[in-house]
Copies of this chain bind each other. A is one copy, B any other.
Amino acid sequence: MASSRADPYRALFHKLAMLNSLSAEELDGIKSLPLRPQRFRAGATIISSGQLVSECCLLVEGYACRHKLASDGGRQIVSFHVAGDILDIQHLLFEKADHNVQTITDAEVVFFPMRDLRRLIEERPEVGKALWRDCLVDASIFREWVLNVGRRDARMRIAHMLCEFAAKCEAAGLGSPAQFTLPMTQEDIGDATGLTSVHVNRMLRQLADEGLIARAGREIRIADWPRMQEAADFQPDYLHLAA
């Protein structure tokens, strides 16, 4: 993977283009930010809770997640991320990380100095608006996750997580519900849905037996997208994929 260095802006601009109409000057402003590229191996921690953060981290290639730890060591994943996602925009206004960011696969990220980003936002408020909007989408997804984990049964939770991930991948140009890569382990899926990996396994089998999904290694197909959305109670409005 990632043997050649990818264009660090492509995925981000692709996402911004769907929601905001940033001018060429504003995009150039982003391009003119100094950046520090870095590769991480699968499972590496990019940001640890409690850490002081002075850079903003953009995922260029690969997959990542954000998670928090409970006192008993239990891990709760709070979001999954694909290429083009900004992993810690909250540090624009908070010094200290309140959760962890970790890669799921080998990944390539770029870091922007937060100070330069702040200056760019002052000069070009539309850039700030686009990033603020991104934060609001994040928050909306967190709310849906609270609902998912709090009020849906295991089968539905997993179906929902799969639908959301499929939709995110499709929006990022990384496949479609009919064919995408599910890079995380069943343990990860459990940590995202508040279940154990054992039960995740059983539910994935059940969804496959029902003909809703078809698995082949890390590749997955949602075999019946309408019925799957129904089974998942998935209504993509909360992703705010359209402006």
Check B150 against A194 for contact (C-beta < 8 Å). Answer: yes
A177 to chain B, nearest CB (A): 19
Q: Does A68 contact B (CB under 8 A)?
A: yes
- Report chain B residues within 8 Å CB of A194: 149-151
- Which listed residue (B75, B138, B146, B237) contacts A149, Cβ 8 A? B146
Distance of A150 Cα from B154 Cα, bound (Å): 12
Q: List 18 A-B contacts (CB under 8 A).
A: A50-B237, A68-B144, A68-B147, A70-B233, A78-B146, A90-B136, A92-B132, A93-B129, A94-B240, A98-B140, A98-B238, A128-B132, A132-B135, A138-B139, A142-B142, A146-B149, A150-B193, A151-B194
Check B146 against A145 for contact (C-beta < 8 Å). Answer: yes
- A94-B139 in contact given A76-B147, A76-B150, A147-B76 (Cβ < 8 Å): no
- Report chain B residues within 8 Å CB of A240: 94, 98
Binding site for B on A (CB under 8 A): 50, 66, 68, 70-72, 74-76, 78, 90, 92-94, 96, 98-99, 122, 125, 128-129, 132-133, 135-136, 138-140, 142-147, 149-152, 193-194, 233, 237-238, 240
Q: Which of chain B's residues has its CB closest to A239's CB? A: B98
A67 to chain B, nearest CB (A): 8
Distance of A138 Cα from B143 Cα, bound (Å): 10
Main secondary structure of the interface of A (DSSP, over half): helix
- Report chain B residues within 8 Å CB of A136: 90, 92-94, 135
Distance of A133 Cα from B94 Cα, bound (Å): 8
Check A143 against B98 for contact (C-beta < 8 Å). Answer: yes
Q: Which of chain B's residues has its CB closest to A134's CB? A: B93
Distance of A75 Cα from B146 Cα, bound (Å): 11
Distance of A74 Cα from B66 Cα, bound (Å): 27
- Which listed residue (B71, B76, B93) contacts A133, Cβ 8 A? B93
Distance of A235 Cα from B149 Cα, bound (Å): 21
- A68-B143 in contact given A96-B237, A150-B193 (Cβ < 8 Å): yes
Q: Which of chain B's residues has its CB closest to A140's CB? A: B98
Q: Which of chain B's residues has its CB closest to A231's CB? A: B71
Q: Which of chain B's residues has its CB closest to A193's CB? A: B150
Q: A68-B144, A75-B151, A78-B143 are in contact. List 9 more A-B contacts (CB 8 A).
A: A66-B143, A70-B147, A74-B152, A78-B146, A93-B132, A94-B240, A98-B237, A122-B125, A142-B146
